[in-house]
Amino acid sequence: MSTTTTPTPLGRAAAGTADYLDQRTGLGVAVKTFARKIFPDHWSFLLGEIALFSFVTLLISGVFLTMFFVPSMAETHYTGPWDSLNGVQMSEAFSSTLRLSFEVRGGLLMRQIHHWAALIFMASIVTHMMRVFFTGAFRKPRELNWVVGFTLLILGLLAGFSGYSLPDDVLSGNGLRITDGVIKAVPIIGSYASYFVFGGEFPGQDLIPRLFTVHVLLVPALILALIGLHLLFVVLHKHTQYPGSGRKDTNVVGFPLFPIYVAKAGGYFFTVFGVIALMAATMSINPVWNYGPYDPSPVSAGAQPDWYMLFLEGSLRLMPGGAEFVTWGDFTVSLNVIIPAMIVPGVLFTLLAIYPFVEAAVTGDKREHHVLDRPRNRPFRTSFGVAVLVAFFILVLAGSNDLIATHFHLSINDITWVFRVLFFVGPWLAFIITKRICLGLQRKDRELVLHGHETGRIVRFASGEYIEVHKPLDAHERWLRVQHDNIRPLEIEPAEDARGVRRKGYQVDRIRQRLSQVFYEDRVEPVTPSEVAAAHAHGHGEHDEIAADSHEPAQVGGGTHLVEPEGETTTDGRNPQV
């Protein structure tokens, strides 16, 4: 017996509204298509969502803070509940920050939510980009989306710097003074640029209002636009997925956006917001009342910016003072500032920005990729990424060399020299070690595919031969370890044709070939079907009879000989003895 239900007034109103919008905008088709979009399920994909939700938290808390913050450098005398600063002359910006912290209900909590959300926003962007880089998610057709993500990283740095400079306290003022020095170090136009930015001689009267406009209007608008573009590219290109059986470049294995991921995303937002709120309620951050209003005279140990700008501080601290000035013509070039503040960060960021295009040019690969790489199968890329990260972390530690010296009772000069050496040696060591690890893991995968997992069970034959019985890989694990492409260095045509005429474009091809040799000369060939077949054939016979007698499953490769019969070799020419 069928039953019918009468829609409620609210249901009829919702249906009528949806129908009205669909007929005039075609929204129904877009929502239907988007709701059916399949997304793979893996914890690392949540790193991007953490960045998105922490940015939403920044917007919510930022709206609250703008209602009470006064972006002015006009002088005033503070009167309020913080007794140690009563009667002290300070800017309106610093005074309003104190009022937010001690007099506005919930003001201090919202300040700390905003600051912690900013730190997590940058941390999640960095870790998300690390995941994209090491798994090769930037390959065609996602090169432009990598550039969008890289631009979001730069905008995040700008948003953070402009934000923590607004209170006009001693700590942020010291950071702005460094910024003024960096701007003035620019040859020819440095002093003019400083006057333009600060509205006169540092600190001027216009900087805080300008930073406020940049922080609450310009940068958030650009970030919102790029986040929208970033998500649009994700939908257009479809989501990448980790390698595994059944996963190909032509499909996506996962769950639909609605209702699975809509429910997950909603709950995950409140989880992220709850964690940030808990951190803000229990862990103090940026207590500006302890620093006092900006005064250029007090500078002490422990004056560090937020973690994402600490690499720039470390770069400045490591630069030797002997390279302070170099006279060039009628101009003075401050290499002690230009090199650490412009060249070093410029090189690091440029390498990150252009890497997808360099790799595509080196490999000559023009097909689309939707299945991710295992980092071990791209030794150069993985090693290069680790080397850049090591250089970054060395600079971060160097930015805290004074804290390391005071906490561990060490010489700050010795610490600085150690970091100077590590900055040049550390990335190269990290590159070499990481590459060796990747190649070793590839060899391990090859051994597992050919011979299976070791069981620790030793069998002796009547002839005196010993073998270790191996457990074969199932089809899923075998596919995971052999599915990657075998990329070899590029082969190019000769420099001269058959008539001895030099070929056009040879030099460009030769450069590409040399780069491809750097990328792919050191590699481990993946297992071929013929090698697997040979390993199967090698395992049949009396070895499998032993396994059958002991109720063991048939072995792939039949186990590895502990004592190799004289003259026997494996199909790849290596000694199989272990």
Asked if the structure places residue 487 within a domain, the reply is yes
- Identify the domain boundary among 373, 394, 422: 373
- Identify the domain boundary among 339, 373, 407: 373
Co-location of 219 and 111 in the same domain = yes
Return the pLDDT at 495.
75
Asked if the structure places residue 21 within a domain, the reply is no
Return the pLDDT at 323.
66
Return the pLDDT at 558.
38
Asked if the structure places residue 388 within a domain, the reply is no
Asked if the structure places residue 443 within a domain, the reply is no
Asked if the structure places residue 550 within a domain, the reply is yes
Co-location of 126 and 255 in the same domain = yes
Co-location of 311 and 166 in the same domain = yes
Asked if the structure places residue 399 within a domain, the reply is no
Identify the domain containing residue 550 by its residue range: 451-571
Return the pLDDT at 327.
66
Co-location of 458 and 344 in the same domain = no
Distance between CA 94 and CA 292 in Å, rounded? Answer: 8
- Identify the domain boundary among 316, 347, 373: 373
The DSSP line for 266-290 is HHHHHHHHHHHHHHHHHS----HHH
Look at the block and give the residue holding tokens 């002796």: 460
Which tokens sit at 499? 């008539």
Co-location of 368 and 456 in the same domain = no
Tally of domains within the chain? 2
Co-location of 252 and 339 in the same domain = yes
Co-location of 354 and 472 in the same domain = no
Asked if the structure places residue 480 within a domain, the reply is yes
Co-location of 88 and 230 in the same domain = yes
Secondary structure letter of residue 241 according to DSSP: B
Contact between 203 and 169 (Cβ < 8 Å): no
CATH number of the domain where residue 73 is located: 1.20.810.10
Asked if the structure places residue 174 within a domain, the reply is yes
Co-location of 352 and 462 in the same domain = no
Co-location of 354 and 460 in the same domain = no
Return the pLDDT at 539.
57
Burial (0-12, 13-18, 19+ Cβ within 10 Å), 145: buried
Co-location of 136 and 263 in the same domain = yes
Distance between CA 153 and CA 129 in Å, rounded? Answer: 9
Distance between CA 512 and CA 387 in Å, rounded? Answer: 22
Q: Rounded to two decimals, what is the model's pTM? A: 0.85
Co-location of 459 and 349 in the same domain = no
Mean pLDDT by 10 residues, the chain (578 residues): 68 78 74 76 90 95 94 91 91 94 94 96 95 94 94 94 91 88 86 88 87 94 95 88 86 82 87 96 92 81 85 90 65 81 90 91 86 92 95 94 91 94 96 95 90 86 84 85 82 74 78 84 82 70 48 41 34 34
Contact between 556 and 539 (Cβ < 8 Å): yes
Return the pLDDT at 515.
84
